[in-house]
């Protein structure tokens, strides 16, 4: 991230996330908290978003986007492809921790 190489950063986030999930595979039934989460991560990666994974124990799934336009496109694509999703949001990083998220 500090070097400004977004593709490398996104890929590293996914790799780390998958490794962390693998450590808990016995408890959560695989790398991710079920096949639905695994499907969302796989879809994001197939659509070109290398930095996808599961937050903590899931089922919240994330995908990193280089800019607002790509993030909006991905949110729309998730809504179209997975109409049963309860909530799809676009969030911007902050230096304040998890205190707020803007709906997208």
pTM: 0.84
Number of helical (H) and strand (E) elements in the chain, helices listed first? 4, 2
pLDDT tens, per residue, the chain with 104 residues: 888 899 999 999 999 999 999 998 998 889 999 999 999 999 999 999 999 999 988 889 999 999 999 999 999 999 999 999 989 999 988 777 666 555 55
Query: Is-contact 86 79, C-beta < 8 A?
Result: no
For residue 103, give the 3-state DSSP assignment.
coil
Please state, in angstroms and rounded to a whole number, the distance separating the CA atoms of residues 48 and 43.
Answer: 9
């Amino acid at each position: 991230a500090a070097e400004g190489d977004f593709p490398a950063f996104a890929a590293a986030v996914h790799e780390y996330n998958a490794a962390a999930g693998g450590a808990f595979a016995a408890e959560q039934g695989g790398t991710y908290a079920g096949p639905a989460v695994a499907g969302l991560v796989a879809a994001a990666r197939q659509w070109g978003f290398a930095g996808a994974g599961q937050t903590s124990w899931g089922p919240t799934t994330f995908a990193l986007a280089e800019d607002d336009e790509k993030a909006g496109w991905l949110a729309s694509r998730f809504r179209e492809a997975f109409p049963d999703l309860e909530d799809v949001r676009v969030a911007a990083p902050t230096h304040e921790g998890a205190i707020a998220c803007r709906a997208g």
